[in-house]
Amino acid sequence: MNLIIDAGNTKVKLAIFKKAEIIHLETVATYDFVEAVKKTFKDFPQIKSAIISSVGSLSKEQINIMAVFCDFYELSNASKVPFKNSYASPQTLGVDRLALATAAFYYKPHSNILVIDAGTCITYDMVNDFDEYLGGAISPGVQMRYNAMHDQTAKLPLLEKKELLDYIGNTTENCIHSGVVYGVSHEIDGVIDLYKGRFKDLTIILTGGDALFLSKRLKNTIFADSKFLLKGLNYLLEYNKH
């Protein structure tokens, strides 16, 4: 069994893989990380190896607790990956994006794949049919857009995402929801259209905490998989063992 940890900027996801199958999944806040790890090893003593991708605020001490329990690997920009990395600043690339590109590579090798991760930020990552990672884009995530409007104005309230019946907002709250929800979904559809114009037979994967909420609102056909990054990490753990 492998313990796979994706520490993002909002939440830490812990998954246990038995070969390619996820048999346990939980999401915790950064401050609960150490307790969650201890409990996981108590409940699943069969875990032999672990990997962590951390782009959030976990400290070195928090991360190093893993080494107490098993054979532990921290994903870094020096890790081996199964594709050609053509990012011009590989040392500053988020390791979570390396995991997404890895999942894309194994999902459909030698094909054009765009991965959209709607998490704290929305990331766009492109792997082409030459198995080459090109990069993509980083934009503000759903909750970040709500937070920014509240934090940087005097009058706008802090809201959370909500289903909307009409894109014409008729109250302050509805106008904010419309701006965020229709803004994000039209951004994503617009970006997909750009990539479709350049890459033939493009496969589009949507993942991250807001994937299910957004998938219903897109005009493009996408494959939503909230566990895509975790699957990429499980591949990278096996890939870097040898």
Ligand X SMILES: Nc1ncnc2c1ncn2[C@@H]1O[C@H](COP(=O)(O)OP(=O)(O)O)[C@@H](O)[C@H]1O
Ligand Y SMILES: CC(C)(COP(=O)(O)O)[C@@H](O)C(=O)NCCC(=O)O
The annotation status of 87 as a binding-site residue, yes or no, is yes
147 belongs to the binding site for ligand X (CB under 6 A): no
Instruction: Please report whether residue 143 would count as binding ligand X according to CB under 6 A.
Output: yes
Query: For residues 49 and 69, what is the distance between their CA atoms, to the nearest angstrom?
Result: 9
Residues near ligand Y, by CB under 6 A: 8-9, 55-56, 92-94, 96-97, 117, 119-121, 123, 138
Q: Residue number with the shortest CB distance to ligand Y?
A: 94
Q: What is the crossing angle of helices 172-198 and 142-151, to 10°? A: 140
> Any binding-site annotation on 142?
no
Residue 198 assigned ligand-binding role: no
How many Å apart are CA 14 and CA 237, to the nearest integer?
Answer: 14
Active site residue 193: no
Query: Residue 208, interface with ligand X (CB under 6 A)?
Result: yes
Closest CA to 75 of 45, 98, 91, 100: 98
**Residue 220 in tokens:** 């493009």
Angle at 231 between CA 99 and CA 25, to 5 degrees: 120
CB of 144 to ligand Y, least distance (A): 8
Task: Give yes or no for residue 120 binding ligand X (CB under 6 A).
Answer: yes
Which partner from the list ligand Y, ligand X, none does 93 bind, CB cut-off 5 to 8 Å by kind?
A: ligand Y
Catalytic residue among 43, 71, 96, 201: 96
DSSP state of 6: E
CA distance 137 to 117: 10
Please tell me the distance from the alpha carbon of residue 169 to that of residue 177, in angstroms, as a whole number.
8
Does the annotation list 115 as a binding residue?
no
Contact yes or no for 97/207 (Cβ under 8 A): no
Shortest distance (Å) from residue 201 CB to ligand X: 27
Q: Locate 128 and state its tokens.
A: 């082409």
Q: Which one of 5-13, 151-159, 184-192, 214-222 is the stretch in contact with ligand X (CB under 6 A)?
A: 5-13
- 10 in a known ligand binding site: yes
Q: Which residues are catalytic?
A: 96
Sequence ranges of the binding site for K(+)? 117
Write out the residues near ligand X by the rule CB under 6 A. 8-11, 119-120, 141-143, 161, 208-210
Sequence ranges of the binding site? 6-13, 87, 94-97, 117, 120, 172
